Amino acid sequence: MKLSTLLIVLGGLLSATTLKWSQIRDRRTVAEIYRDAKAGKLRSTLYAKIIAPISFILILVGMYLALTWR
């Protein structure tokens, strides 16, 4: 397995661990979620606040490596 693929998969799995089943089954539209986020009603745990940027960076680095390595 390539390093880039491994980083992308690891970042995706890490970000998936921050979700709860109730958030996955929620049928709200993007506009409703945006409205709640703008009003400050979205709550996240300390774990999610730490893991979200880490998983985002892992996915970005993995995509960069996938596009630049030969």
Tokens standing for residue 64: 């960069």
pLDDT in tens, 5-64: 999 999 999 998 887 766 666 777 878 878 887 888 777 788 888 998 999 999 999 999
Q: Which residues contact 69 (CB under 8 A, 6 or more apart)?
A: 2, 4
pLDDT score recorded for residue 24: 63
**Domain extents in the chain:** 3-68
pLDDT score recorded for residue 22: 65
For residue 44, the 8-state DSSP code is -
Give the span between the Cα atoms of 66 and 62, in whole angstroms: 6
Residue 66 banded pLDDT, cuts 50, 70, 90: very high
